[in-house]
Chain A
Amino acid sequence: MCGIIGYVGDEAAGPIVYRGLENLEYRGYDSAGIALVDGAADAGEERAGEKRAGAEGLTVTKRSGEVANLDVPDSEATCGIGHTRWSTHGPPTDANAHPHTDCEGSVAVVHNGIVENHETLKAELSDHAFTSGTDTEVIPHLIEEELAAGADLRTAVERIDDRLEGSYAICAVHEAAERIVVARQDSPLVVGHGDGASFVGSDVTAFLDHTRDVTYLEDGDVAVLEPGRVDVFHDGEAVDRPVETVEWEADAAEKAGYEHYMRKEIHEQPTALRQAISGRLDADRGAVDLDVEFPEPFLNSLDEVQIVACGTSYYAGRYAAELIEEFADVRTTVEIASEYEFGGGRDPHRTLTIAVTQSGETADTLGAIRRAAAAGARTLAVTNTLGSTITREVDDAVFIRAGPEIGVAATKTFASQVTTLAMLAVALGRGRDAMSAARARTAVENLRGLPGAVQQALDAEDAVKAAAREYGDSEAFFFVGRELGVPVALEGALKLKEISYDHAEGFAAGELKHGPLALVTPETPVLAVLTDGAKPRETMNNVTEAQTRGAPALGAVSAGEKADALDEAFAVPEAGIVEPLVANVYFQLFAYHVANEKGRSIDKPRNLAKSVTVE
């Protein structure tokens, strides 16, 4: 949930760590801190007991607020670790910011994840002085105990590994040496190999300015970083982990003159969608090639497809489930990952469980897919991130190819997820002989036409902006749709609440009259999906119910259909099963412009983080 960066080399570590934190700020950001080790400051181990944080060997600077609030000490230290925090335990205060230190201020630790047994451990460490309300703080004190027992830093970290329960990525430094010891358990950690320098980060963006040669650590790994040298250990034995080269551009994640990443990413959707379908569609045959092989007996014996996901990915899953049931003639369930159990009455060998996660690091989704795998189901990940944790845990992975997404509110990745899952639905349908070639050709043609159709919606941004100005100050916003329009209504409402902080709810249009209609007033606009695939006529009836209570009605309508009854209509070009996805582009633009008019922190909405790596 937070960001970690570490550097050890021959340059001043402070600026490199600070820049890394800035790059990571989009991961979590209610406090930040840096610890620097200056070996040249003659910090002998035997004098460790006399040190305090802030003395010459180890310098810790931290405070609540954004990274920009941090004053990086002007130091020549060449070893440092840094952290940006998104609070899980203890409020965002200066004291709760990382790094945390031991009683003597000799050891500094940054940590990502949760120490589940921190209360028990804290009780065991009763003679230690704790200064924060965090679970993390037990770690430096545990290390302190091991060091006192004669262990070196690596051994100390290895030993405490056995005592910590939960998920974590840890970076620890000791004042005596320019060396970083890191450990990973269920929380992402990646090591970078530079020229005469070594890096560590919770995410490659932390140090992508400096090197593209990286090693993804595995659960249970402990690594020792020294300038230009990284040694990885597993269960105390040295192991070789492959060095991979990161392909995507760090600057692909920069704003290119847009005022917000979110708007940039909304506008990148035609390009992202072209990448998603490139080389995967065969329009003549009505075939899809996702480079995933399902054995024919498995496909034919399939009882159930399960989709597990959170947030926006969950809504993408809802969209896909409709298509999979229709195309592949197989029961498809979608579950919020944190609620998922492999329930009774199911045959795991006849089950395909699909995890949908942009980052591939979402803790709830990882937990769910592990439960599915443990039950014996076949697992598939649909993700945006090569080399992410989930890709190493599932039987197969399909990439959505959306490119890096920085805005906390997911936009282009939703479109790319739905597109990729729709291709999967066609592949399953054809593989199971449940879908005719003619039907598949139509679906493939719809997908092929999607990038162009989305561009048409983007071209109409000025009209959406005007609508956002007119209706932005309403009391609440209701999004409605049917069938494929339901997940889009839910996603539309989520986008608006995430970035504008306005009250917004999505409903199946038919449900309006079963309760929510009581909330409808002239101050609550209704935004409707009125396209193919979303039962526009029936939905329009429900919109009329709201209109008769005085609510303004806005809708995304299939091109050529009548929209006179609406206060504001946005045209959706013909795109069949993906028309609701084009409607969603209008909702994204609406949410963006409502939030922008209100001056919200669009790329970093309060209380939210990009990839949620805690359960």
Chain B
Amino acid sequence: MTSEPVTAVVLAAGEGRRLAPLTNRRPKPMLPVANRPILEYVVEAVADAGIDRVVLVVGYRGERIRNHFGDGREWDLEIEYVEQSHQLGTGHAVLQAQAAVGDRFVVLNGDRIVDGSIVREVRDATVDGRTPVMAVTDVEHPREYGVVSLEGGRVVGVEEKPEAPVAAGRINAGVYGFSAAIFDAVRDTSPAGELGITDTLDRLAHESPIEAVEYHGDWYDVSHLWDLLAVNASLVGAAGADGAAGAVAAGAVAADGRTGDEPTHAAVADDVVVGADVRLGPGAVVGGSTALGRNVHVGANAVVENAVVLPDAVIEPGAVVRDAIVAGNARIGANVTVAGGTATVIVDGEAHEDVRLGGVVGDNATVGGGATLDAGTVIGDDATVDPGVALDGRIETGAVVRRG
């Protein structure tokens, strides 16, 4: 390649309101999937594509991102940060990176997991040809995303979350190639609400079709709490990286028990990722599709299955935690039952039927012993639930739920 090295701009400033209460404490790109933040998969895809300089656009709770990635040496990358202090949309986020990039660069959403091949293809198309370039992919529910209209392999329109039924399931994959001309184009776009990059692209596509790069590889998006469980399940089972299936980090005490005369007889399924310093009590069962973060404790005879447990959480003896998310430093009391299963969950006034979500316990929340959570219960961060209470629906941040 003769031109200057291409920089990847990763948009990671967003908050992810629909993922509250988890996003009350961390930006959406830092939600863990198989014990690694979503953003780490994105950053690795960039590294796999042979790009070695990344500009992270951070905003909401940006210190979580800076803490995790540092200057990027761990990924053999040079990572720089630019701040988007007000979250005014993805177009506005791209503008923040203007001073940090050269003439040609790629842009990725920090909350969509893609693999390196598509980044590489978009990069190559960007360097060699006309811009903008946009990656498109197929999904089951296109109406949740930016649906693209294609003509002759080029994008002629992008419509965000269309109301009307859509024929073809082709959507914007969230990987773009731009030249510096995009900055003026974004400034010339006057949107109704937030300044989304797709508003600009839609306008440009109407003037002149945009280069599309077809992508058929893995593409994961976490829009809702239950998506986190599904994506986690997909990735804990996948081999590769340090989140390999059944990986048990150093310092963790797992199925084979600690050394000495007192085996714990904990049972751990193959598709489980266990972080460092995790402890499993005797008789604990960690079923499939589960990730246990650093310093998590699971008490004797507890059952954890299809679950995402964030660092420092404690699940006391005898608890059953299925199809559930337990956030950082939360405490699930003894014999608490999160039976799992499907439910209708309401997010921002919109009902989502039949989603698999046993329950969510927010950061630093405490659920007293013997409490039961109906499927779909979402307990806010810092909430306290008395022992023995039967819960359903949403419990607000900081709420105290008394018995009787």
- With A267-B63, A452-B328 as given contacts, are A249 and B73 in contact (CB-CB < 8 Å)? yes
Encoded as 1 (CB less than 8 Å from any A CB) or 0, chain B from 251 to 276 comes to: 10000000000000000000000001
The A267-317 residues at the B interface (CB cut-off 8 A) are 267-268, 270-271, 274, 277-279, 283-284
Q: How far is the CA of A263 from the CA of B63 in the complex (A)?
A: 9
Q: Which residue of B lies closest to A259 (CB)?
A: B83
Pairwise interchain contact B297-A283, C-beta atoms closer than 8 A = yes
Interface residues of B in 59-99 (CB under 8 A from A): 62-63, 66-67, 69-71, 73, 79-81
Judge if A560 is at the interface, Cβ distance under 8 Å: yes
| B67 contact set on A, CB distance < 8 A | 256, 264, 267-268, 271
Instruction: Verify if B15 is at the interface (C-beta below 8 Å from A).
Output: no
- If A251-B71, A251-B73, A448-B297 touch, does A274 touch B329 (CB 8 Å cutoff)? no
Is B374 interfacial (CB 8 A cutoff)?
Answer: no
Interface residues in B, total, Cβ within 8 A: 33
Are A257 and B251 in contact (CB-based, < 8 A)? no
B64: nearest chain-A partner, CB-CB: A267
B294 within 8 A of A: yes
A91 at the interface (CB under 8 A from B): no
**Residue in B56, B58, B71, B276 whose Cβ sees the most chain A Cβ within 10 Å:** B71
Nearest CB of chain B from residue A437's CB, rounded to whole Å? 15
Given contacts A256-B81, A448-B295, A455-B328, contact A264 B66 (CB under 8 A): yes
Task: Write the nearest CB–CB distance from A66 to chain B, whole angstroms.
Answer: 22
Q: Which of B11-46 contact A (CB under 8 A)?
A: 25
Min Cβ gap B142→A in Å is 36
CB <8 Å contact, B70 and A251: yes
Shortest CB distance B362–A (Å) = 11
Task: Report, as a range, how many residues of chain A touch the other chain.
Answer: 20 to 34
B300–chain A nearest beta-carbon distance, Å: 9
In the bound assembly, the distance between CA atoms of A411 and B314 in angstroms comes to 27
In the complex, chain A residues whose CB is within 8 Å of the CB of B80: 257
The reply to whether the CB of A456 lies closer than 8 angstroms to some CB of chain B is: yes
- Which residues of A have CB within 8 Å of B25? 455, 459
- Chain A residue contacts of B281, Cβ below 8 A: 284
B79 contacts across to A, CB distance below 8 A: 256-257
Other-chain contact of A456, B58, B70, B311, B364 (Cβ < 8 Å): B364
For residue A257, which residues in chain B have a CB less than 8 angstroms away from its CB? 56, 58, 62, 66, 79-81
Interchain CB contact under 8 A, B329 and A456? yes
Shortest Cβ distance from residue A573 to the other chain B in the assembled complex, whole angstroms: 6
Measured CA separation A559–B363 after assembly (Å): 14
Contacting residues, chain B, for A455 (C-beta < 8 A):
25, 312, 328-329, 363
Q: What 1/0 flags go to B116-159 for Cβ under 8 Å of A?
A: 00000000000000000000000000000000000000000000
B279 close to A459 (CB less than 8 A): no
- Cα distance, A258 to B66, chains bound together (Å): 7
Minimum Cβ distance to chain A for residue B293 (Å): 10
Q: Tell yes or no: A449 within 8 A of B by CB.
A: yes
> A442-467 CB contact bits vs B (8 Å, 1 = yes)?
00000011011101101101000000
Distance, CA A270 to CA B80, complexed state (A)? 23
Per-residue CB proximity of A366-398 to B under 8 Å, as 1/0? 000000000000000000000000000000000
B70 cross-chain contacts in A, Cβ below 8 A: 251-252, 254, 256
List CB contacts (< 8 Å) of A574-601 with chain B.
Answer: none
B277 in contact (CB, < 8 A) = yes
Q: How far is the CA of A183 from the CA of B295 in the complex (A)?
A: 46
Q: How far is the CA of A254 from the CA of B66 in the complex (A)?
A: 11
* A373 to B271 Cα, complex, angstroms: 54
B337 at the interface (CB under 8 A from A): no
Judge whether A449 and B63 touch: CB under 8 Å: no
Q: How far is the CB of A98 from chain B (nearest CB, A)?
A: 31
Give, as a whole number of angstroms, the nearest-CB distance from A460 to chain B. Answer: 10
B335 at the interface (CB under 8 A from A): no
Chain B residues within an 8 Å CB radius of A258: 63, 66
Residues of B within 8 A of A252 (CB): 70
List chain B residues, Cβ under 8 A from A270.
311-312
Q: Assuming the A-B contacts A456-B329, A560-B384, are A449 and B312 also in contact, with contact meaning beta carbons closer than 8 angstroms in the complex?
A: yes
Bound together, the chains give a CA A256 to CA B66 distance in angstroms of 6
- Assess the A274–B294 pair: CB atoms within 8 A: yes
Provide the residues of chain A in CB contact with B329, threshold 8 Å.
449, 452-453, 455-456, 573
A251, A257, A283, A458 — which one has the most chain B CB atoms within 10 A of its CB? Answer: A257
Tell me the minimal C-beta distance from B20 to chain A in angstroms.
14
Q: Closest A residue to B275 by CB, please name it.
A: A274
CA distance A455 to B382 in the complex (A): 12
Most chain A CB within a 10 A radius of its CB, from B251, B279, B295, B297? B295
Point out the residue from A263, A451, A459, A560 that lies within 8 Å of B312, measured CB to CB: A451
Query: Which residues of chain A come closer than 8 Å to B382, judged between CB atoms?
Result: 456, 559, 571
Q: Inside 8 A of A256's CB, which chain B residues have their CB?
A: 66-67, 69-71, 79, 81
Tell me whether A451 and B295 are in contact (CB under 8 A): yes
The reply to whether B364 and A278 contact each other, CB–CB distance below 8 Å, is no
Considering the complex, which residues of chain A in the window 231-272 have a beta carbon less than 8 Å from any beta carbon of chain B? 249, 251-252, 254, 256-258, 263-264, 267-268, 270-271
Determine how close the nearest CB of chain B comes to the CB of A465; give it in whole angstroms. 12
Contact with B along A528-560 (1 / 0, CB 8 A): 000000000000000000000000000000011
CA A458 – CA B70 in complex, angstroms? Answer: 18
Q: Which residues of A contact B313 (CB under 8 A)?
A: 452
Q: How far is the CA of A451 from the CA of B275 in the complex (A)?
A: 15
B363 touches A459 (CB 8 A): yes
A258 to B58, CA, bound (A): 11
Contacts of B63 in A (CB 8 A): 258, 263, 267, 458, 461
Point out the residues of chain B lying under 8 angstroms from A271, CB to CB.
67
Scoring B73, B279, B313, B329 by chain A CB atoms within 10 A of each residue's CB, the highest score goes to B329
Contact of A279 with B364 in the complex, beta carbons under 8 Å: no
* Chain B residues within 8 Å of A448, by CB: 295, 297
- A279 touching B251 in the complex, CB below 8 Å, given contacts A451-B311, A573-B364: yes
Report the nearest B residue to A271, measured CB to CB. Answer: B67
Complexed CA–CA distance, A459 and B312 (Å): 15
Chain B contacts of A279 at CB under 8 A? 250-251, 277
| Nearest CB on B from A139, distance (A) | 38
Within the complex, which residue of B62, B71, B276, B311 is in contact with A278, where a contact is CB–CB below 8 Å?
Answer: B276
Question: Of residues A267, A271, A274, A461, which shows the largest number of chain B Cβ atoms within 10 Å of its Cβ?
Answer: A274
Q: CB-CB < 8 A to B250: which residues of A?
A: 279
Which B residues touch A267, using CB under 8 A? 63, 66-67
- Given the complex of chains A and B, what is the CA–CA distance between A257 and B314 in angstroms? 32
Q: Inside 8 A of A459's CB, which chain B residues have their CB?
A: 25, 363
A456 touches B363 (CB 8 A): yes
Among B269-305, those with CB < 8 Å from A are 276-277, 279, 281, 294-295, 297
Q: Cβ of B277 and Cβ of A278 under 8 Å apart?
A: yes
Smallest CB gap from B61: residue in A? A459
Min distance, Cβ B381 to any Cβ of chain A, angstroms: 8
The smallest beta-carbon distance between B124 and chain A, in angstroms, is: 29
B360-404: CB near A (< 8 Å → 1, else 0) gives: 000110000000000000000010100000000000000000000
Q: Shortest CB–CB separation between residue A259 and chain B, in angstroms?
A: 10
A571 surroundings in chain B (CB, below 8 A): 382
Give Cα A456–Cα B310 distance, bound, in whole angstroms: 13
Q: Check A277/B312 contact, CB under 8 A, given A257-B66, A267-B63, A455-B329.
A: no
24 contacts between A and B (CB under 8 A): A256-B66, A258-B66, A267-B63, A270-B311, A270-B312, A271-B67, A274-B276, A278-B276, A278-B277, A279-B250, A283-B279, A448-B295, A448-B297, A449-B329, A451-B311, A452-B329, A455-B25, A455-B328, A456-B363, A458-B63, A459-B25, A559-B382, A571-B382, A573-B329
Which B residues are closer than 8 A to A by beta carbons?
A: 25, 56, 58, 62-63, 66-67, 69-71, 73, 79-81, 250-251, 276-277, 279, 281, 294-295, 297, 311-314, 328-329, 363-364, 382, 384
Known: A452-B313, A559-B382. 20 other contacts (CB 8 A): A252-B70, A256-B66, A256-B69, A256-B70, A257-B79, A258-B63, A268-B67, A270-B311, A274-B276, A277-B277, A278-B251, A278-B277, A448-B297, A449-B329, A451-B311, A451-B312, A456-B363, A459-B363, A560-B384, A571-B382
